[in-house]
């Protein structure tokens, strides 16, 4: 083992800061153990983290020795607990070892990572009852769905080819699989929100889901309306309108990030789509009092998401991508507008991002890119109505959304006309 480094190699202020941070994170986690009345409490955790900090300062051999000594302490702690017939202190032992490694990080000069580990560790210890209760409430179907979603995202996606696999460059498996994962994840999140918050979760899902893919979000909402036999019509209406508003906001942000000129050429219609969607959702909300919380129906939740629906959606996406690419190569701008319309039917974000990217690389004029973004956004609003009409099986909800989305569509077209006239006056 190497000798102890000379004191001159340790700047006093920096060394003191590292040791104080190690002591602080140990005391922070030990406070929870002390509050629970554990044998290893505030001082024990402070010393354990400080020991790791000294090991980090002295070098790797001493850091290893510090962790080994903590292992001896953990063994003695469990031996004493077992002798007192209190069971093994597994959680406290794991926390002590984590704090030992955290102290080593502090000794090596890390700041953010030790603080994050300490906060996370304290949270895990404090939320013991809640975490245990949550795990006991999970059904076998929910657990299988979570594992399946992880397989889709982390096992299948990385091995798929990133480049097109056909001679014409139409079929890109990895890009299509992203949509499959998105659909599955959206269904899973929507399921959890509905289970945790009841009908209130639908509106939150509507806006947040619309930022990702409004088509997927609206499809999930329509499914929930059908499953509850129309009892979620009111919140589903607001959720669809908020999803439409979020879609317009997301498309505007994409344009601004990728091509500011394209955003300028589509700002008026996108703003009208955004404001009218929010306004119609708020008007319905303020028109009368909401039903009391006790009247919220019990939801017949069965499956967090449908894998077959996700796979079908991915297959349709591949078909649309192929047809759109061929149309763009054969008909120029007209083909590009057709691609934008088809893209809006599936995912307006991809169509808008494509238009902005082409504009940024000089392959498309800002005017054409702006028109394409508007077409994709309006097509997305139209498909939302079609999805609700076909999936929800609720005529009243279909009529309400038809009127509201019709207003949004009309204002978007008027905005496009106004945008064109403004550009003509400016040029």
395: left (phi over 0), alpha (psi -120 to 50) or beta: alpha
Across 240-254, b (16+ Cβ under 10 Å) vs e yields bbbbbbbbbbbbbeb
Q: Taking a C-beta distance cutoff of 8 angstroms, is the pair 348, 360 a contact?
A: no
pLDDT at 289 over 50: no
Q: What is the mean predicted confidence (pLDDT) over 285-293?
A: 44
Q: Taking a C-beta distance cutoff of 8 angstroms, is the pair 271, 241 a contact?
A: no
pTM of the entire predicted model:
0.53
User: What is the reported pLDDT for 97?
Assistant: 93
Greatest Cα pair distance, the chain, in angstroms, is 88
- Going by C-alpha positions, the residue among 369, 355, 375, 381 that lies closest to residue 415 is 375
Q: Which residues are CB-neighbours of 324 under 8 A, at least 6 positions away? A: 338, 339, 342, 343
Residue 334 structure tokens: 């007209």
Q: What is the mean predicted confidence (pLDDT) over 123-147?
A: 78
User: What is the reported pLDDT for 56?
Assistant: 92
Instruction: Convert the pLDDT of each residue in 152-185 to its tens digit.
Output: 888 888 888 877 776 665 566 776 677 677 667 7
Give the separation between CA 276 and CA 416, rounded to whole angstroms.
15
pLDDT at 25 over 90: yes
- Going by C-alpha positions, the residue among 98, 126, 118 that lies closest to residue 36 is 126
Of the spans 103-107, 208-212, 349-353, which averages the highest pLDDT? Answer: 103-107
**pLDDT top residue among 113 and 171:** 113
Tell me which residue has tokens 């990385």.
158
Q: Which residues are CB-neighbours of 257 under 8 A, at least 6 positions away? A: 356
Give the separation between CA 418 and CA 56, rounded to whole angstroms.
66
Give the separation between CA 258 and CA 285, rounded to whole angstroms.
35
Instruction: Compute the residue count for the chain.
Output: 427
User: What is the reported pLDDT for 300?
Assistant: 47
Give the separation between CA 371 and CA 261, rounded to whole angstroms.
12
DSSP 291: P
Q: Taking a C-beta distance cutoff of 8 angstroms, is the pair 238, 404 a contact?
A: no
């Amino acid at each position: 083992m190497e000798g102890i480094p000379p004191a001159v190699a340790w700047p006093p202020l920096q060394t003191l800061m590292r040791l104080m941070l190690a002591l602080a994170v140990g005391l922070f986690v030990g406070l929870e153990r002390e509050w629970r009345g554990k044998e290893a409490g505030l001082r024990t955790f402070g010393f354990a983290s400080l020991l790791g900090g000294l090991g980090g300062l002295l070098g790797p051999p001493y850091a290893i020795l510090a962790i080994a000594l903590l292992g001896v302490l953990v063994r003695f702690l469990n031996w004493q607990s077992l002798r007192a017939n209190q069971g093994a202190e597994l959680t406290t032992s794991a926390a002590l070892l984590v704090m030992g490694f955290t102290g080593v990080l502090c000794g090596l000069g890390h700041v953010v990572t030790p603080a994050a580990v300490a906060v996370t560790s304290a949270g895990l210890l404090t939320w013991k009852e809640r975490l245990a209760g949550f795990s006991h409430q999970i059904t076998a179907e929910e657990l299988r769905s979570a594992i399946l979603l992880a397989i889709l995202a982390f096992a299948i996606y990385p091995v798929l080819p990133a480049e097109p696999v056909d001679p014409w460059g139409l079929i890109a498996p990895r890009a299509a699989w992203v949509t499959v994962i998105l659909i599955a994840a959206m269904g899973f999140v929507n399921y959890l929100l509905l289970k945790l918050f009841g009908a209130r979760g639908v509106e939150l899902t509507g806006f947040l889901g619309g930022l990702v893919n409004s088509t997927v979000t609206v499809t999930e909402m329509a499914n929930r309306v059908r499953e509850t036999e129309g009892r979620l019509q009111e919140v589903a209406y607001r959720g669809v309108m908020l999803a439409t508003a979020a879609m317009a906001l997301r498309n505007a942000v994409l344009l601004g990030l990728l091509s500011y000129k394209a955003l300028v050429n589509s700002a008026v219609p996108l703003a009208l789509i955004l404001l009218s969607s929010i306004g119609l959702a708020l008007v319905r909300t303020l028109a009368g009092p909401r039903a009391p919380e006790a009247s919220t129906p019990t939801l017949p939740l069965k499956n967090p998401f449908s894998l077959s629906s996700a796979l079908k959606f991915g297959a349709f996406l591949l078909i649309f991508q192929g047809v759109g690419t061929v149309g763009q190569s054969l008909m120029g701008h007209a083909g590009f507008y057709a691609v934008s319309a088809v893209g809006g039917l599936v995912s307006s974000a991809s169509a808008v991002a494509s238009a902005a990217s082409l504009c940024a690389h000089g392959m498309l004029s800002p005017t054409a890119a702006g028109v394409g973004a508007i077409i994709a956004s309006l097509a997305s609003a139209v498909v939302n109505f079609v999805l609700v009409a076909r999936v929800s099986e609720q005529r009243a909800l279909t009529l309400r959304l038809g009127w509201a989305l019709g207003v949004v569509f009309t204002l978007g077209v008027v905005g496009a006309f106004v945008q064109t006239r403004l550009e003509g006056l400016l040029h």
